[in-house]
Amino acid sequence: MKALYIALNDIRIAFSDRSIWINLLVIPAALIFVIGLANGQSLGGPSAAPRYPVDVVDQDQSPLSAAFVNALVGQQPSLVICPQENDAEDVCALGSDPGVISAEDAQSRLDQSRTLAYLVIDAGFGEALRANQAAHITYRSGESMTAESIAQQAVGTAAQRVEGIVSAEQLARRIADDVLDGDDAFVDSMRANAAELWSQSPVTIHEEVAPVEKPDFLVGLQQSVPGIGSMYVMFLILAGASTLVQERRLWTLQRLSAAPVTKADIILGKLLARFALGMIQYGVAFAVGLTYGRFLNVSFGDNPVALLIVMVAFSLCVSTFTLFMATLVKTEDQASSLVVLVTLALAPIGGAWWSLDLEFIPEFMRTLSMISPFKWVIDGFRNVIALDQGIAGVVGPSAVLLGIGAVFFVLAVRRFRVIE
Amino acid sequence: MESIVRVSGLTKTYTRQDGSVVQAVRGIDLDIYRGEVFSLLGPNGAGKSTTISMISGLIPPTAGDAEIGGHSITREPLQAKALIGVVPQEVALYPMLSARRNLDFFGRMYGLSGAELSKRIDEVLDVIDLKDRQNDKVETFSGGMKRRVNIGVGLLHRPQLIYMDEPTVGVDPQSRRRILDTVLRLRGEYGMTVLYTTHLMEEAQELSDRVAIIDNGAIIALGTLMELMSQAGEEDILVLTVAKERANDSIVGVLQAVEGVSRAQIEPSDTDNGEVKYAVYARLGRRALPGVLTAMNAAGVDVMSVNVREPDLETLFLALTGRALRE
């Protein structure tokens, strides 16, 4: 219980200085964004395959114009034929009037880059086809759109199909007139069969957009939130070494030791305080990351428990190192210098600034990184966020961090003195 | 009388980085009685703080032990520490916390909590007269106010023994007076035993029931003020300053012949400032002074100045060590 009071007192002291918020929130939030930007991929991970709306204005409303539109629908997964393929999420962005699109509306939507292209099937399209006359379809697209050819190809394919249907219908009419005494039912049946057959042929080229492959390492905010967050966790926890030296100078540590408090209570209290501050820093870093992520479509995996495990392991590891460091330094200046030196050396080596899985990182750096606790904590985060390994992915890295922590804990307890 | 502190063979030895061994405290034995003000008097570096640090469990002794209320500080440190209130020489407070927060935290370290802790804090704030500033940060306080909070922390758990390590160092005369009054009040009103360390003879004389004089890590005198004064001798010392060219061997004989003077001697001096000092021992120094001056006049020796030293702890320390207490 006394250890808990000691920890709470230390946390209260840390927050009694309002400038803590600069290091706890302001600087990490800015660095997370900047480093996230530098780590690329639009600050985030993979995005869904794009879909392009194409408006259809059917001014003919004949069976053959309907057959033409049907031939367009579902031909290319990357195209959405509007309004026929509009869905509950209003992928065509038709708003409150989803039924019919006028030629003016279609032009306006194209001008606003809300659609890739639009088609106008002129009135008399079906009659002209049956009469072996020219039938017109107007196709307009935004010239800068790279996916334009996909729409053109689809329209061409649909036109071919309709021509096939018309040819079958004309052939059936001749047979009906010559042999079957003008049997209209036969002609209708042939047209329907031809439409069914042409819906599967001729051979069409299906354009499939390969899903953007999810990288197996951390990029963008997924890298900077845990990376910069962990770096500031280390800054905040290691500052405890300076605090301990200050307590010796102020004699509060000696006064604490003169009270009926065990050495174990003092060590545990100091350890708990630094650990708690580290976890608060992680909380702030991930809160900032989630806020950014909401606007930039970035997620940090779907296993917060696994993330928590690796955060706890890292915070404990650094907390015990802090106690050990406090036994090495004599002055607050020495402690402060060592905090900066240790953190700024270990963070990039361990992959807190950029992923060590990037191709240009030399192999010896990957080997060297094993001495840095950042390597293990970032491995844990990568396994959860990028590789979806869940708790199984953090067991190894957390075990290494806890092992390092245990070594420093033993050393710290053996060397810790109230009066140096 | 019942002892609350029993110290036996307390020793502290340090090994320097160059390998040399320093004996900071050399086998101290002493008893402190319940309800007394006991002062450890000695020059800086004499071993007072080291002795106190061992008695209060801050540093382990190399040898020997101290018992507080029957509990060994080495074998039962938690029980022994619970009986002690500590007022270190340094202002051992968290400057960025308020006076009340400091009292609250250290109170909890002594096992106090809830309404009882709150009540004790209010009591202590009354004693140290800081109720109106209780919620202000300690860093905004004057040196004297910080010292008072420092004492307040030591009083919170109503200890049987309170140790104060030079609590008046660096404070203004008004705050010093207030601190000394607080010490007297602790003994008078609360019946506390006070262990007080100082290098100021006046403080030890004003406050103490008994005094131990410590030098070079060992106690060289211990007793009540009366006992120590008698060790210092019952005679006053008249110190006569004479110009060096007028001094001669016959003067000592002239002085010893004066009625009421028991003996006279030249005071040893390391510096040659053109003066010689004669120490004249007399039971009633001020009464013998006219005869001394008449005799010197008759001998044709001009006396440049006269200083009358009545016996005190300073005299005793000088007599025991050949050095002044403030050196």
Report pLDDT for B6: 95
Q: Which amino acid is at A348?
A: P
Tell me, yes or no, if A337 comes closer than 8 A to chain B by beta carbon. no
Residues 6+ apart with CB under 8 A from A122: A59, A60, A135, A136, A137, A138
Distance CA A290, CA A222 (A): 10
The answer to whether the CB atoms of B58 and A251 lie below 8 A apart is no
Average pLDDT, chain B: 89
Nearest chain A CA: its distance from B35 CA (Å): 21
C-alpha distances (whole Å) from B250 to each of A164, A247, B253, B256, B299 are 152, 64, 5, 10, 9
What's the CATH fold of domain B3-231? Rossmann fold (3.40.50)
- Encode pLDDT of B67-77 as tens digits: 999 999 999 99
Q: How far apart are CA B152 and CA B144, in angstroms?
A: 12
Task: Indicate where chain B has its CATH 3.30.70.260 domain(s).
Answer: 235-310
B 178-237 residues inside an 8 A Cβ radius of A: none
pLDDT surpasses 50 at A176: yes
Structure confidence at residue A252 (pLDDT): 95
Local mean pLDDT, 10-residue blocks, chain B (327 residues): 92 89 92 93 86 91 94 94 92 95 96 95 92 95 91 93 88 86 86 89 88 91 85 80 85 90 83 85 85 91 87 77 64
The verdict on A9 touching B (C-beta cutoff 8 Å) is: yes
Cα nearest neighbour of A250 on chain B = B92
Over 70: is that where the pLDDT of A140 sits? yes
Confidence of residue A144 (pLDDT cuts 50, 70, 90): low
More confident residue, A28 or A161: A28
Q: Domain B235-310: which CATH class? A: alpha beta
Please indicate whether, in this complex, the C-beta atoms of A258 and B96 are within 8 angstroms of each other.
no
- Tell me the chain B residues in contact with residue A254 when contact means C-beta distances shorter than 8 Å: 58, 88, 92
Minimum distance, in Å, between the CA of residue A254 and any CA atom of chain B? 7
pLDDT at B55: 93
Higher per-residue confidence, A232 vs B190 = A232
The pLDDT of residue A213: 59
**A216 pLDDT exceeds 80?**
no
Q: What was the pLDDT predicted at A211? A: 52
pLDDT at A110: 85
Domain boundaries, chain A: 2-46+217-415, 52-198
Instruction: Say if B239 is an interface residue toward chain A (CB within 8 Å).
Output: no
In a mutagenesis test of the B interface, which of A246, A253, A255 is the best target, namely the one with the most B β-carbons within 10 Å?
Answer: A255
Q: How far is B146 from B130, CA to CA, in rounded Å?
A: 10
Interchain CB contact of B53 with A (< 8 Å)? yes
Region A374-402: what's the mean pLDDT? Answer: 94
pLDDT value at residue A205: 47
Cis preceding-peptide flag for A202 (omega within 30 of 0):
yes
**Strands of the A117-121 sheet, one edge to the other:** A79-82, A52-58, A117-121, A137-141
ipTM confidence = 0.79
Q: Is B54 on the interface with A (CB under 8 A)?
A: no
Give the model's pLDDT for residue A147: 54
pLDDT 10s digits, A88-125? 777 788 877 767 788 888 888 888 878 888 888 888 88
Which amino acid is present at A222?
Q
Higher-scoring residue by pLDDT: A38, A211: A38
Residue pair A323/A409 in contact (Cβ under 8 Å)? The answer is yes
Distance CA A56, CA A139 (A): 9
> Hey, are the CB atoms on A250 and B95 less than 8 Å from each other?
yes
Q: How far is B116 from chain A (nearest CA, A)?
A: 17
**3-state SS, one letter per residue, for chain B:** CCEEEEEEEEEEEEECCCCCEEEEEEEEEEEEECCCEEEEECCCCCCHHHHHHHHCCCCCCCEEEEEECCEECCCCHHHHHHCEEEECCCCCCCCCCEHHHHHHHHHHHCCCCHHHHHHHHHHHHHHCCCHHHCCCEHHHCCHHHHHHHHHHHHHCCCCCEEEEECCCCCCCHHHHHHHHHHHHHHHHHHCCEEEEEECCHHHHHHHCCEEEEEECCEEEEEEEHHHHHHHHCCCEEEEEEEEHHHCCCHHHHHHHCCCCEEEEEECCCCCCCCEEEEEEEECCHHHHHHHHHHHHHHCCCCEEEEEEECCCHHHHHHHHHCCCCCC
The single-letter code of the amino acid at B228 is: L
Are A137 and A60 in contact by the 8 Å Cβ rule? The answer is: no
* CATH architecture, range A52-198: 3-Layer(aba) Sandwich (3.40)
- Can you give the pLDDT at residue A20? 87
The amino acid at residue A77 is: P
Percent of chain A, pLDDT > 70? 90
Mean local confidence (pLDDT), A343-362 = 89
B81 interaction partners in chain A (CB closer than 8 Å): 258-260
